Amino acid sequence: MDNQRLFDFGGSYTGIMGKIFDLLLVGILWIICCLPVITIGASTTALYYSVVKSVKRGNGYAFREFCHAFRINFVPATGIWAAVAGVTFLVQLNMGILMQKTSGNTGLFFICFYYLVSVYVCAAACYAFPALSRFDMSAVWIWKLGMYMAVRYILTTLAVFLVIGCVLALFWALPMSIFFTPGAAVFIISDFMERVLEKHMPE
Q: Give pLDDT tens digits for 27-72.
A: 999 999 999 999 999 999 999 999 999 999 989 899 999 999 999 9
The 8-class DSSP code of residue 60 comes to S
If you compute the radius of gyration of the chain from its CA atoms, what whole number of angstroms results? 19
Distance CA 40, CA 153 (A): 24
Distance CA 113, CA 111 (A): 5
Q: Select from 80, 52, 78 the least CA-distant residue to 66.
A: 52
Structure confidence at residue 8 (pLDDT): 46
Distance CA 118, CA 88 (A): 6
158 HSE (CA, 13 A, CB side): 4
pTM of the model: 0.89
Structure confidence at residue 1 (pLDDT): 45
Name the band, by pLDDT with cuts 50, 70 and 90, for residue 197.
Answer: very high
Name the band, by pLDDT with cuts 50, 70 and 90, for residue 110.
Answer: confident
Q: Are 7 and 14 within 8 A, CB to CB?
A: yes
Structure confidence at residue 107 (pLDDT): 77
Distance CA 64, CA 143 (A): 26
Q: Please give the mean pLDDT across all residues of the chain.
A: 90
- φ, ψ (nearest 5 deg) of residue 99: -65, -30
Percent of the chain with pLDDT over 90: 71
Average pLDDT value for residue range 155-166: 96
Buried b (16+ CB within 10 A) or exposed e, 97-122: ebeeeeeeeeeeeebeebeebbebbb
Name the band, by pLDDT with cuts 50, 70 and 90, for residue 7.
Answer: very low
